[in-house]
Chains A and B, each alone.
Chain A
Amino acid sequence: MLALVLIESSWGHLLGIGRVHPDLVLLAVISWTALRGAAEGWMWSIIGGIGLDLLSNAPFGLSAISLLLICLFVRLAYSRVYGTSLVLPLLLTFPLSVIYYLISMLFLTLTGFPIDWNAALLHVVLPAALLNVVTMLVLFPLLRALHQRTLPRPSI
């Protein structure tokens, strides 16, 4: 997770289009919660969120709280069923990306950062959400492979 944070910080401009880059940590949280359930998803949210918060000038905890709330939404969407199909995470990525940004923007506004909501929605949130959907097509299969390799093997 920390590697994803570093990739997002150091290679974000290479992975993105224009000034918008995919939110790898957010996508990893959505994917891992879908694959492994809420308990591990929350852990990834906290680790990834704190990592992002350490490398940001935004109020500390903002990313972690946003990711925790996203994790909650994924949990609600999946209820008690977890699966390895790409379809549901892909369907969830766009709305959850928008929600993630709305939560972040709300916190930033509340803490005094000047956010132009119209411009941010049009030029950042929507392009980033679309880019996240495309990135999810690549990232989810990778994380699914990691999930399958790291599954605890049943003892005989």
Chain B
Amino acid sequence: MVSNSRTSWLSYTVALVVLSISLLASQLGYMQPLRDVARNLFVPFQIVMSRISQAVERSAGGLQDIQQLRQRIEWLQAEVNRLSVENVRLAEVEQENLRLRQLLNYTRNNPQYDYRTAAVVAQKIGENPSNLLFTIFIDVGVRDGVAPGMPVITDRGLVGRVIHAGPNVAEVLLLIDPSSAVNARVLNSRVTGVVHGSETGELIMERIPQGEVISPGDILVTSGLGGTFPDKLIIGQVTEVLRRDADMFQTAHVRPTVDFGRLETVLVITTFKPLETDLSGSEAEGGSTNP
């Protein structure tokens, strides 16, 4: 009996030691090949399960009027999104036109980032099982031209960026993850700051200089600073501004335009080459603050 107890305690201790070593090894990047192999094995199951869940979600409506209301809401949301995007585009065109008049040598920066002509369509097939971290898996990988650092978007706006790409599957760090940070600016006033996620799934814009004017309703887009995201991708809308004289910066709460709870199809901008290839880079460079 005592021997059995000793054996089980010994095996428990050995397991803990081995796992602790693997924890350290993963910090050094040695466990990623194992993850790649396992994730590739999981992909077929994840695809099947995500299709089932999508089918369940679509058929769960049940009652006809609820279905019709849902469709109406979806149509209205799509219309709002379309108009928001159109509005952003027109405002950008207007401002661009103004700048072009002022600067004869102006040329639009980075035209190759136009996602309409350089994107890979992907389906979400799974998500991070932890409630503390926000990443998803998509069914495209290196074989489709996807690489770490590439931005991921929907028609509503920015979703996040690829942090790891296997042969057939890629992991995307969502904008709402606490370790995500994106350089952003207010569309019309050009006020800049850093948008990052939080444990609550909300977006927070920080490092807004005290003197700048930012108000609820302002639309935020990526600024392109740091070179890790293309500019002018819609992030969200300011809902609340926290301003205290004692602080060096203002803080704003932001409602993302993307509904992260209902992500299905996304686009990966494959032509964008981030300046910082090291995804373990520090904060405020538009990337992950993960180690």
List residues of chain A with CB under 8 Å of any chain B CB: 5-14, 18-21, 23, 25, 38-39, 42, 46, 49, 52, 54-65, 68, 72, 101, 104-105, 107-108, 111-116, 119-120, 123-124, 128
Contact = CB atoms under 8 A, between A and B. Distances in A.
A84 to B, nearest CB: 22
Nearest to A127: B131
Nearest to A54: B38
A106 to B, nearest CB: 11
Interface stretch (B25-33, B61-69, B96-104, B150-158): B25-33
Contact of B49 (A11, A65, A113): A11
B53 interface: yes
Contact of A54 (B23, B25, B35, B179): B35
Contact of A10 (B35, B50, B201): B50
B125 A119 contact: no
Interface of B: 8, 11-12, 15-16, 19-20, 22-23, 25-27, 31, 34-35, 38-39, 42, 45-46, 49-50, 53, 56-57, 125-133, 135, 137, 163-164, 171, 173, 178-179, 198-201, 261, 283, 289-291
Contacts of B34: 54, 60
B8 A38 contact: yes
A7 to B, nearest CB: 7
Given A61-B22, A114-B289, A55 B261 contact: no
Contact of B31 (A60, A65, A116): A60
Nearest to A8: B129
Contacts of B163: 57
A63 B22 CA distance: 12
Contact of B26 (A19, A59, A113): A59
Given A60-B35, A72-B12, A19 B23 contact: no
A89 B124 CA distance: 34
22 contacts: A9-B46, A9-B128, A10-B46, A10-B127, A14-B53, A21-B131, A42-B15, A52-B129, A54-B39, A56-B130, A56-B133, A57-B173, A58-B128, A61-B20, A64-B19, A65-B20, A68-B19, A104-B132, A111-B27, A113-B179, A113-B289, A113-B291
